[in-house]
Amino acid sequence: MDGPHNAQANAGTAHGDGANGRRLPDFLLSVNLKYVKLGYHYLISHLLTLCFVPLTAVTLLEFSQMSYTDVRLLWLHLQFNLISVIIFSTVVVFGLTVYIMSRPRPIYLVDYSCFRAPHDWAASLHAFMEHSRRTGDFDESSLEFQRKILERSGVGDETCVPEAMHTVPPMPSMAAARDEAEKVMYGALDALFCNTKVKPKDIGILVVNCSLFNPTPSLSAMIVNRYKLRGNVRSFNLGGMGCSAGLISVDLAKDLLQIHRNTCAVVVSTENITQNWYFGNKKSMLIPNCLFRVGGSAVLLSNKSVDRSRAKYKLVHVVRTHKGADDKAFRCVYQEQDGAGKTGVSLSKDLMAIAGGALKTNITTLGPLVLPISEQLLFFATLAVKKLFNNGVKTYIPDFKLAFDHFCIHAGGRAVIDELEKNLQLLPVHVEASRMTLHRFGNTSSSSIWYELAYIEAKGRMRKGHRVWQIAFGSGFKCNSAVWQALRNVKPSCNGPWEDCIDRYPVKLVL
């Protein structure tokens, strides 16, 4: 493809030829192919409209040429076929009624909030390493390994760990774990109820997810007790489902909202650090220590038509992919004990390859739902050519930037973000929210995608009609996607997670 520099060179050559030196350059050489591609997408996307307009024009022209006699004859014809007209009208009305009654109810995201830990919970990289050394649980090799992981992780100095992990020695007791869960969940819920003015008694559905901490009574029961939710609230507590559990919770709430009319649902997503810190020396189990940090979110969903006017987003799609039938995928994120009997979560070396396979399966399902028909035609055309004629033909990668305006990629680690940026052919601005969330808050597990969405809003980038793609990966192994559409120009809510620091971002990261 000829770029601007080649076009200018060709123009200069043409200018030098001829007697008067005024020949025009070859415009075909200066055409940027991206505009040809955009024109193709526009043509295919509006093909039905482009065909419908001439048809409508011809129909109107025919009607305009009808005389009074022609109109009268048409009316008489309809009168003599009154039974046919009545039957046709009945079928149309019945069909429209069935369609309206059976179509899925729209699900609105009224608002959400993210927990912002107090400043004294912060653990800078230097403080993290010093604290790890002072505990006496790690040998020199493990300390050096953690230092290297931290330096390359993209995690900044303001990420937070719970109070129990700041002491020497750490005190990961059940009471401390409960205290962390309460502060995170109640902090997010207090902000949500304050911003939305919703009364806890109005909540009909409650879904809570936390992968590694599942006490009795459950986390959902703790919330019911704290906010005195009504006795018939439908509460659910999801455990062991990894970092993608937030979208699983949204999907569950969506299905329940399709059944129960005029109802609000709250989805709470968090992870517990206190009882899940690894104090051993197995390298594959040390990585979560370096990445996971305190965080949580609370999301208010509604199927009430009156909530549309104040809602931020409408849920468009949820697509879930589970690769647990494959043994490697099942064990790539695995909680176990090491040789010394110390419990932790082990990450397999095959994690990125398995995540890539899960993503491929997920977008194969999601693509036809969101991609313009032009991208789908290109994809299937190259796939057909590859299968029928030449196995060496490279499969066309659909351009998801044509389907989405914003991307919230789970901030699981720098490698995850890098790979998705590369494989989906995204621009740096598309992964900025994920990188900055990882830097400021670390990997907050299932709540990370909500910190990312809050970043986009805090930057003032969310406009009415914009589509957002949330992508999350989790143990099992799972890849889940949710698509939201903005119902208005979205502004950040009060007491948002970026309220005190958005002016400092984006920061330059050391690669």
pLDDT of residue 374 exceeding 70, the answer is yes
pLDDT of residue 186 exceeding 60, the answer is yes
Compute and round to an integer the Cα radius of gyration of the chain. Answer: 28
Q: How many CA atoms lie within 13 A of 304 on its CB side?
A: 16
Given a contact cutoff of 8 angstroms between Cβ atoms, the answer to whether 14 and 25 are in contact is: yes
Q: Give the pLDDT mean for 16-25.
A: 41
SS3 81: coil
Q: Give the pLDDT mean for 34-62.
A: 63
* Catalytic positions, written as ranges: 243, 322, 406, 410, 439, 443
Q: How confident is the model at residue 363 (pLDDT cuts 50, 70, 90)?
A: confident
Give the pLDDT score at 98.
Answer: 72
Enter the pTM of the model.
Answer: 0.82
Give the pLDDT score at 42.
Answer: 53
Reading the block at residue 142, the tokens are 């493990």
SS3 212: coil
What is the full DSSP assignment across 133-196? HHHS-S-HHHHHHHHHHHHHH---TT-B--GGGSSSS----HHHHHHHHHHHHHHHHHHHHHHH
Question: What's the angle, vertex CA 287, arms to CA 141 and CA 505, rounded to 5?
Answer: 120
Give the pLDDT score at 184.
Answer: 98
Give the pLDDT score at 46.
Answer: 56
Task: Dump pLDDT digits (tens) for 418-454.
Answer: 999 988 889 999 999 999 999 999 999 999 999 999 9
Given a contact cutoff of 8 angstroms between Cβ atoms, the answer to whether 268 and 297 are in contact is: yes
Give the pLDDT score at 30.
Answer: 37
Q: How confident is the model at residue 56 (pLDDT cuts 50, 70, 90)?
A: confident
Task: Dump pLDDT digits (tens) for 235-257.
Answer: 999 999 999 999 999 999 999 99
Given a contact cutoff of 8 angstroms between Cβ atoms, the answer to whether 352 and 419 are in contact is: yes
Give the pLDDT score at 19.
Answer: 40
Q: Give the pLDDT mean for 111-119.
A: 96
Task: Dump pLDDT digits (tens) for 66-107.
Answer: 787 877 777 777 667 777 778 877 887 877 777 666 667 899
Mean pLDDT of all residues belonging to the chain: 87
Give the pLDDT score at 58.
Answer: 80
Q: Give the pLDDT mean for 28-43.
A: 46
Of residues 62 and 362, the one with the higher pLDDT is 362
Give the pLDDT score at 483.
Answer: 97
Q: Give the pLDDT mean for 346-370.
A: 89
pLDDT of residue 18 exceeding 70, the answer is no
Q: Give the pLDDT mean for 133-162.
A: 94
pLDDT of residue 470 exceeding 60, the answer is yes
Given a contact cutoff of 8 angstroms between Cβ atoms, the answer to whether 297 and 195 are in contact is: no
pLDDT of residue 342 exceeding 60, the answer is yes
SS3 214: coil
Give the pLDDT score at 4.
Answer: 43
**40-49, 169-178, 186-195: least confidently modelled range:** 40-49
Q: Convert 296-357 into a string of H (helix), E (strand) and C (coil).
A: EEEEEEECCHHHCCCCCEEEEEEEEEECCCCHHHHHCEEEEECCCCCEEEEECCCHHHHHHH
CA distances from residue 134 to 287, 405, 429 in whole angstroms, order as listed: 19, 46, 40
pLDDT of residue 314 exceeding 90, the answer is yes
Q: Give the pLDDT mean for 479-499.
A: 96
End-to-end CA distance of the chain: 31
